């Protein structure tokens, strides 16, 4: 395996002290030396600037992110223009007292050919190594990774690709900035190891690591999207009846600890389903390939990659199962009602509201004067009338339905066909009637499984929904359960108009023009995806 050529430079800056010899800093190191106003006065001017002032108008952060060839990656993730002011405040808070220490490092490769041989093509490749390696390096030099602020920038404006990596403590614990030579050597060796790993991977598998990671992530999405809880009710029913009636239902919550082993057995069973198993085994093969390579290069079993990936998968599926349990407990068996959360509502005009369907790349239009019920759990339900026709919008994929883009067709559909479409595993409407899974309920929830938005009651005038004498197979014997401190009988708001729902001030997708619509949808989807990521990263237990 050819060895990458890495040049490492390491220095520290101490607030209130003189700058390192030979640096561009002049005067005394201060907060202003680090902070950046994100607009550099010009690359050529800055390079030639020899005047006696603090580096240049941008400070160190400005120098490392000086032009459009760079993107800033940090302990807070990618720094957009919106995130930059908040990140600057963190820097100012961490580096403002005399004695506060900041470490400034540079990692440089010999040339771009050397970079390409290591499969390092752009800032994302460099950011991946930084994100992976920095926490371990912090621990090795006695720093707490959770107490660190850092940022990095990749520069390609010179003959050799290089990065600036700057880090400091949030709460000052170090009084000495100089590091022993063995720690400086270790910093360089981390990069040599990671670059060598990429070279060896390409040599062995004739593929770039990022391509395998991309395929791994795509397979994970495929197998998760293929799991349909409605077709595993018999497996899940007994588990749902044992769940606690109070407390948070989340895979990694303390409340779920006594039930996690049983939940893991269910997840394993779902992954062995004949339709899911091929995608799962292919995904697991990619994970084991990456895990084995890291252990081979280290000559010992040190990689935790496989366990981490399985942790994330089990957490995601576990939360899907528990989300389905929340849906099941809201069922008061009524004939033809749709359930949905407030975030599923899309405003179209004064007469029409569009509702996103659960687990379908589709939406349905409802009139703004449709009568709604709102229960204590914050979910709306509306009766679909038999003698009316409804407009169904279908999209290329589920996320497109959230964004209301890439619509494939529009159909006029009656009540019975709508519910067959919602329940059928074969969701085609073009070749006869959809297949119906025997024994399923005749109404469907539009509640998104991950949506836990609390929606306040619209009035204090409650009415009760009488329990159905024919209880669902999935309902508990004592009737509708009380979870999260709820009473067994649900308060509801009777015949609240749909148009009034969006006038009560809680979170919603409500837009007045195309630009505002796009902005609101982008923000909602971003928050939705971030919520998914947070839920996946919380726990580390699986079978």
Show which of 283, 298, 329 is a domain's final residue.
329
Does 461 lie in the same domain as 385?
A: yes
Q: Is 84 helix (H, G, I), strand (E, B) or coil?
A: helix
Does 54 lie in the same domain as 112?
A: yes
**Residue 527: what pLDDT?**
61
**Residue 89: what pLDDT?**
87
Backbone angles phi, psi at 25, to 5 degrees: -70, 140
**Residue 239: what pLDDT?**
79
510 in Cβ contact with 502 (< 8 Å): yes
Quick check: pTM over 0.85? Answer: no
Residue 520 is assigned to a structural domain of this protein = no
Residue 524 is assigned to a structural domain of this protein = no
Q: Is 539 helix (H, G, I), strand (E, B) or coil?
A: coil
For residue 321, what are the contacts with CB-CB under 8 A and spacing of at least 6?
229, 236, 239, 263, 266, 267
**Residue 55: what pLDDT?**
33
Angle at Cα 484 formed by Cα 360 and Cα 501, nearest 5°?
Answer: 50
Does 282 lie in the same domain as 223?
A: yes
Residue 200 is assigned to a structural domain of this protein = no
Nearest to 231 by CA among 449, 470, 436: 436
**Residue 436: what pLDDT?**
32
Residue 199 is assigned to a structural domain of this protein = no
**In the block, residue with structure tokens 């201060």:** 30
Does 362 lie in the same domain as 242?
A: no
Give the mean pLDDT per block of 10 residues along the chain (543 residues).
62 76 66 52 32 36 43 84 86 86 82 70 80 86 90 77 86 86 83 76 72 83 79 68 79 87 88 87 87 61 75 90 66 58 76 82 85 66 81 87 85 86 61 36 36 34 39 35 34 48 42 54 60 53 35
**In the block, residue with structure tokens 């919008």:** 393
Residue 201 is assigned to a structural domain of this protein = no
CA distances from 243 to 203, 319, 329, 477 (A): 50, 13, 11, 14
**Residue 1: what pLDDT?**
42
DSSP string, 234-256: HHHHHHHHHS-SSS---TTSGGG
Does 142 lie in the same domain as 274?
A: no
For residue 511, what are the contacts with CB-CB under 8 A and spacing of at least 6?
347, 517, 519, 520, 521
> Half-sphere exposure of 251 toward its Cβ, with a 13 Å CA cutoff?
28
DSSP string, 154-223: EE-SSSS-EEEEEEEESS---S-----HHHHHHHHHHHHHHHHHHHHHHHHHSS-HHHHHHHHHHHHHHH
Residue 191 is assigned to a structural domain of this protein = no
**Tokens, residue 336:** 């033809």
451 in Cβ contact with 343 (< 8 Å): yes
Strands 444-445 and 337-340: parallel
**Residue 430: what pLDDT?**
46
Does 463 lie in the same domain as 362?
A: yes
User: Beta-carbon neighbour count of residue 389 at 10 Å?
Assistant: 13
Does 219 lie in the same domain as 156?
A: no
Residue 483 is assigned to a structural domain of this protein = yes
**Residue 103: what pLDDT?**
87
> Half-sphere exposure of 67 toward its Cβ, with a 13 Å CA cutoff?
12
Range(s) of the domain holding residue 485: 337-510
Does 94 lie in the same domain as 215?
A: no
**Residue 442: what pLDDT?**
34
**Residue 245: what pLDDT?**
74
Does 388 lie in the same domain as 372?
A: yes
Does 260 lie in the same domain as 148?
A: no
Residue 526 is assigned to a structural domain of this protein = no
Show which of 301, 329, 357 is a domain's final residue.
329
User: Beta-carbon neighbour count of residue 10 at 10 Å?
Assistant: 16
**Tokens, residue 116:** 């390409």
> Half-sphere exposure of 469 toward its Cβ, with a 13 Å CA cutoff?
0
Total number of domains in the chain = 3
Does 348 lie in the same domain as 241?
A: no
Does 115 lie in the same domain as 10?
A: yes
459 in Cβ contact with 492 (< 8 Å): no
**Residue 387: what pLDDT?**
80
User: Beta-carbon neighbour count of residue 377 at 10 Å?
Assistant: 19
CA distances from 284 to 56, 200, 211, 261, 517 (A): 51, 21, 16, 21, 40
């Amino acid at each position: 395996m050819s060895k990458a050529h890495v040049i490492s430079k390491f220095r520290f800056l101490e607030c209130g002290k003189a700058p390192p010899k030979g640096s561009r800093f002049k005067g005394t190191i201060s907060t202003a030396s680090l902070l950046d106003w994100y607009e550099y006065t010009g690359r050529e001017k800055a390079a030639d600037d020899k005047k006696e002032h603090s580096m240049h108008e941008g400070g160190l952060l400005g120098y490392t992110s000086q032009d459009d060839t760079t993107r800033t990656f940090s302990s807070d993730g990618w720094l957009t223009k919106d995130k930059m002011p908040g990140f600057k405040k963190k820097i100012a808070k961490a580096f403002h007292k005399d004695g506060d220490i900041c470490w400034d490092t540079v990692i440089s490769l010999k040339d771009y050919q050397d970079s390409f041989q290591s499969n390092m093509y752009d800032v994302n490749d460099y950011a991946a190594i930084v994100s992976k390696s920095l926490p371990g390096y912090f621990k090795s030099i006695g720093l707490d990774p959770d107490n660190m602020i850092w940022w990095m920038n990749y520069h390609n404006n010179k003959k050799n690709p290089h990065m600036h990596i700057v880090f400091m403590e949030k709460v000052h614990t170090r009084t000495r900035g100089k590091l022993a030579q063995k720690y400086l050597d270790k910093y360089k060796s981390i990069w040599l190891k990671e670059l060598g790993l990429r070279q060896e991977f390409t040599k062995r598998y004739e593929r770039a690591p990022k391509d395998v990671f991309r395929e791994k992530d795509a397979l994970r999405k495929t197998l998760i999207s293929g799991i349909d809880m409605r077709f595993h009710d018999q497996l899940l029913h007994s588990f749902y009846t044992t769940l606690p009636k109070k407390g948070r239902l989340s895979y990694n919550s303390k409340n779920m600890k006594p039930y996690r082993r049983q939940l893991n057995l269910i997840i394993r069973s779902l992954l062995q389903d004949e339709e899911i198993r091929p995608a799962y085994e292919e995904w697991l093969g990619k994970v084991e390939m990456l895990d084995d390579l890291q252990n081979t290069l280290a000559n010992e079993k040190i990689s935790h990659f496989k366990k981490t990936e399985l942790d994330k998968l089990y957490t995601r599926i576990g939360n899907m199962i528990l989300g389905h349990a929340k849906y099941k407990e809201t069922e008061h068996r009524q004939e033809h009602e749709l359930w949905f959360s407030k975030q599923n509502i899309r405003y179209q005009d004064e007469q029409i509201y569009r509702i996103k369907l659960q687990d379908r790349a589709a939406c349905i239009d409802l009139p703004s004067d449709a009568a709604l019920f709102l229960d204590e759990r914050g979910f709306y339900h509306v009766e679909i009338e038999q003698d009316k026709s409804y407009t169904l919008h279908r999209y290329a994929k589920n996320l497109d339905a959230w964004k209301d883009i890439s619509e494939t067709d529009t159909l006029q559909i009656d009540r019975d066909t709508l519910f067959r479409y919602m329940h059928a595993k074969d969701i085609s409407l073009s070749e006869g009637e959809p297949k119906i899974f025997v024994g399923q309920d005749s109404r469907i929830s539009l509640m998104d499984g991950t949506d836990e938005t609390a929606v306040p009651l619209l009035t204090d005038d409650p009415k009760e929904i009488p329990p159905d004498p024919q209880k669902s197979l999935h309902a508990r014997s004592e009737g509708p359960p009380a979870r999260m401190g709820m009473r067994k009988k649900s308060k509801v708001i009777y015949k609240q108009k749909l148009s009034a729902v969006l006038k009560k001030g809680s979170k919603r997708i409500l837009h007045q023009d195309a630009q505002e619509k796009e902005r609101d949808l982008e923000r909602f989807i971003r928050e939705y995806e971030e919520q998914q990521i947070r839920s996946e990263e919380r726990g580390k237990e699986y079978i």
